[in-house]
Structure 1
């Protein structure tokens, strides 16, 4: 089945081709970008879960570590083609995200300096808040065109 039209993926979301081999193996992540509305999503599969059948905290951390800088790429003028390696990532786990749920994240650019980016985001599981994240990212070199998400 085409992942762009799968009934398991909400309308308007498309597979995201970013994140290198790690997210290719651990994803897929989905993107919906309509004007200023940028959202990332993931359907929780068995391979993403802890022994209790909920999204593993490490997978949530990986999701947030993609959500924040990739949102900044789409919202921050001049940052769209820059590599943004993580300096600090903080996550508050608010509620479990059970097997089969749709997690969806939004993020905002709080501030960009000459060398750093500060961002925060919220992740929901089937519409209920399950995590909030904040991070600091280094403004790195321009990415090759084929790697830009």
Structure 2
């Protein structure tokens, strides 16, 4: 169970990461933050590239930071972006990337710069998923 202080720290980290995004083409800034099994927070932002679609999503950046620091299991995820009334949820590729490190019940909070918008589990975002457990 993730307590309110940790959720707030994750949101703050995702908000700060979003402000560092490199999105000169779409101007669509996204930040993400993840909590690993050691209680550490890791953040990432989207990084676009002139050679579309070679950019990196914020979730992938946060996962890379987690793995680099020795984390291997997600405890919670925040994805933060601004699309007006629409939710900024992970793209299909990022849902699969998150699944690599997440249990079906891992909570994923979707936020905009000012508010928490929706809370999903990994299984709700990627039902009937294929993951590492299929290969053991």
Larger Rg: 1
* TM-score bucket of the superposed structures, by smaller chain: 0.3 to 0.5
* Structure with greater helix percent: 2
Please state which structure has a larger fraction of its residues in strand.
Answer: 1
After TM superposition, the score normalised by the length of structure 2 is 0.35
Q: Which of the pair has the greater relative contact order for Cα pairs under 8 Å at 6+ separation?
A: 1
In the superposition, the TM-score normalised over structure 1's length comes to: 0.33
